[in-house]
Structure 1
Amino acid sequence: MGWYLGDGYIGKPPRTYQLVITADSAYPLLIARCCEAIVAAVPGRVANVNPHPTQNSVRIASCWTRWPDAFPQHGVGRKHERPIVLEDWQQAIVDEHSWAFLRGLIHSDGCRTTNTFKTKLPSGRVAEYSYTRYFFSNISADIRGLFCATCEQLGLRWTKSNARNISISHRRSVALLDEHVGPKA
């Protein structure tokens, strides 16, 4: 679900539907995990990985006639231009598998980074500090809302950095994300 909301869409080739998730080819482990998630969600489905001819990305695709039932958020146009609301049965799955949902969102539209800054102390000495933080960025207010609600459910402290970015830098929250999500690999 997280990968679909981040970098996925449902296309309509002849006679079926196709779930397509675009991923950066620099992260082969994430590509493999995305394929595993598709196969786990719908046993018997195959996830095909096709390199983009000119960009450093791949298309992870899986055909199935029921993809629109699995993702009723599917619709015409961009996700940030239409409401994205989970059905009750989807919310129950997200509640049960919150870390997996958050992992999919962060690995599609997020990152783990180290913030380093310098500050002048009252003594006159310049000190340098570093801390790890996670970012999640999405244009859709609904998708950001799902991300933040899931963070709150898991006890993660988040802040809104700007109109489309959510930051998690609290030490305990970062430690939990490192344990359950981890950096892109």
Structure 2
Amino acid sequence: MRDADNAELHGVAVKTIRRWRRLYQRRGASRGQTHLAPPCPRCDEGPLDGPAYAELLGWYLGDGYISLGRRSVFNLHIYNDVRYTDLNARLLVLMRTVKPSSRPHTRRVPGAIVTTVSWKHWPCLFPQHGPGRKHEREIVLDEWQRALVTAFPADFLRGLFHSDGARVKNWATRVVRGEKRRYEYPRWQFTNRSEDIRRLCGWALDLVEVAWRQSGPWTLSVSRREAVLRLDGLIGPKS
């Protein structure tokens, strides 16, 4: 059937029919094959859930990496503490959302759960992938990634803080009426050895107007009471 006739039959544009046909040919699929990998948002103009991607990007920059498997298929791995059952379940949802119809799986290693999903196009979505450790190479977001983080900064921060962050109790002493008293207060800390990733975290905190400071060589802290409360509301508990 001619593309024009096929387009008229299905009520879509001719260029849509041509794109669908190219996708089948590119994947080597037969006409009767229906279980295809989802189209890549970057290569094939496939859909991309912005909030889920921004959050998964934060997880990848924190405790994730990509490895090359068989048949030129890449594997996205996210490590997370075994104690955080809700977050480990959340990772499965994020991966299925970013790669529709996928089947991520988990494995247990000492003290952690590794959540993994395979796709040929993970380097398209995470161009920060490269040889060596992330803190030993430059980490810069592409313009389309910066646009998504700007649109969904809270989701990006949720991935960062839930991977490489912690909500801790700090304390200080103060003399009141001649008596030394101890006061405890919560704060969020984000620790990463990559200066580029810490800079991205600070940039996203600025986007949501959460005050922060560099409290250590590898650590950013959110300590002011109103800032901690705001960040609590944006990213939720780490559980």
Question: Is this a same-fold pair by TM over 0.5?
Answer: yes
Aligned length: 182
Other-structure match for 1:3: 59
CA RMSD of aligned residues (A): 1.0
* Alignment-mate amino acid for residue 61 of structure 1: T
Picking from 220, 223, 227, the partner of 1:173 is: 227
Structure with larger Rg: 2
Runs of 4+ in 1 over 3 A off after TM superposition: none
Q: Distance in 2 between matches of 1:7 and 1:137?
A: 11
SS of residue matched to 1:43: coil
Q: Distance in 2 between matches of 1:92 and 1:36?
A: 23
Which structure ranks higher in relative contact order (CA pairs < 8 Å, sequence separation ≥ 6)? Answer: 1
* Alignment-mate amino acid for residue 79 of structure 1: K
* Alignment-mate amino acid for residue 11 of structure 1: S
Picking from 104, 125, 136, the partner of 1:70 is: 125
Could you list the per-position Cα deviations for residues 119-158 of structure 1 after superposition, in whole angstroms to 9, with x for gaps in the alignment?
334x321112121100000000000000000000110100
Could you list the per-position Cα deviations for residues 44-96 of structure 1 after superposition, in whole angstroms to 9, with x for gaps in the alignment?
222211111xx111110000000010100000000011110000111111111
Equivalences for residues 74-113 of structure 1 within 5 A? 74-113=129-168
SS of residue matched to 1:75: coil
**1:111/1:183 contact within 8 Å kept:** no
Is 2:79 aligned against 1:22? yes
Shift of 1:182: 2.4
Could you list the per-position Cα deviations for residues 2-48 of structure 1 after superposition, in whole angstroms to 9, with x for gaps in the alignment?
00000000001111000001111110100011111111112122221
Other-structure match for 1:115: 170
What 5-or-longer segments of structure 2 have no aligned partner?
A: 1-56
Equivalences for residues 119-158 of structure 1 within 5 A? 119-121=174-176, 123-158=177-212
What 5-or-longer segments of structure 1 have no aligned partner?
A: none
Other-structure match for 1:50: 107
Q: Report % sequence identity.
A: 40
Q: TM-score, normalized by length of structure 2?
A: 0.74
